[in-house]
Structure 1
Amino acid sequence: MTEYYLVDVKSISSNQRRSSFNENDLDKLARSILDSEILLKPLILNQTGPESYEVIDGNFEYYSAVRAKEINPRGGEMVSAFVISPKDQKNITEQLSILNAAINRTVSSPSIPINNTESDQRLSNLEAHVDRAIADIKDESRKEFQRLNNQITDLKTQLPQKIEALEVLNNFGKVELTLKLQMASIKGKTAEKIITSILKERKKQGFSSFSDVVKRVEGLGDKRMVAILDAWNGTF
């Protein structure tokens, strides 16, 4: 099933180079994204790991989102996207191929004169479609923000326990951290990558909050951090 999400820009990668696009164009769209607080055309992503994604369609939009994050790290932290499930990927790829081919044919076809009434009607229909699409995306964005706010509220109610969890991340050794991550079903190379990053970052400076952990530790995202805390619930 294809799902709409707000995805952390830093967790997304693209197999197309940024240099393929004009930096001025990227900057214009980036500033528009920041001003409107939304990307009108969400990215289409393939999930490659628990907290990692690759662009299937929308490379220009992706690099504009990257530029938006460079301009305003807080305001450009998240970008709207559709995440494609593995079973839907073939159908979505075919759909994109059909759409792109149709667009190319439209662009290359000779112009055919049409009367103003027909043109105005098509324009009105297009504007109505765009308005509905924007409304749907904003509604999904509000739901996603509400879900995150609810999670933050839950975390605040468990603050004493979470302080102890932060102590674990600041003080436990490699073996203890490995056991703790196993409780959240994080094992193997993924766990090793996270633990290595935790040990490296806390040598520089202790973690001051869970948002600080997510920001500095490679392989961790908001969802995975919440999953870890849920798994540790009641173990202190």
Structure 2
Amino acid sequence: MKLPINLVPVKKITSNVSQSKFSADDIQRIANLILETEGVINPIILRRTGLESYEVIAGHLEYHSAVKAREISPLKGEMIQAIILEDSNEKAILEQIEKLRTHPSSFEELMDEHQLEIINIFQDQIQIKLDQNRKEIFDDLKNFLEDHYASLETKITPSNTSANAIDVSAIEEILRQQEERIIKQVQSRGNSDETVSEVLSNELSEKLQNQISTLEVLHEENVKTILQLKIELQKAGKKPIDRVTKLIQDLNSLDREQILNKLSECGFKKKDAESIVTKILSARESQKFSSLKDIANRKVMSEARIISLLDIWQ
């Protein structure tokens, strides 16, 4: 009895094993190899379910990779090598499958088969690595931000809760969310201890810049206001202070038309200018403005707009 290898259309085949059981990277890599070599080295085993339809008995990974290959190149990936079970050979083929394809023949297969047990065994080591990487990222963030905002003399400490402090809890939350994602990823893959270390290192390193960007967005208005004021002071000596004083005095004393004209000269659209003037007049009725921060706190204008006015207010 000779085992014939047939070319079977991929679209005629189904599998009762979900594609999600396998690594998407592995499927993509094998699909590319199938297209490159125009076939698989291990024919899949099929059983007929109809006149021209089949189901996979063994070789589910090869099948899903062939499906991906057909998506990439419908012509080159149209067919796949297969052995079809027949009455005359079914018993012998199934016995071969049991002996050759269901027992782990390598360390990697053994690891895959017992991935849940491995995760449980190495849970403590995984947690240690998570804690180590978490501390490294926090230290990197701290050093980066201290250097980046050194001109503002900003210090990152858990006890620093002043108005201009960087919110450490925001960093903690970012790290916590990242940690949860990595734990889920590790558990879903069933990686060994060495692979877990690589996953953590790569994931955390790749996300570091994103975490920094997220942190800066959280504090964009506050940091930008302080930074721009400091730049103005450094560039023009005492002149920015004079501009600040003049702006506050004008907003406290000028009438509606005068403020409208000044805002118009500064490039504000009529509708925006009228809205701002209404807020100014309403806010100063109860109490005069005492500082730029006071103007922003009373929702007259954003800090960014106030800063932009300092350069052009006459």
TM-score of the pair, normalised by structure 1: 0.45
What is the TM-score of this pair, normalised by structure 2? 0.35
Higher relative contact order (CA 8 A, sep 6+): 1
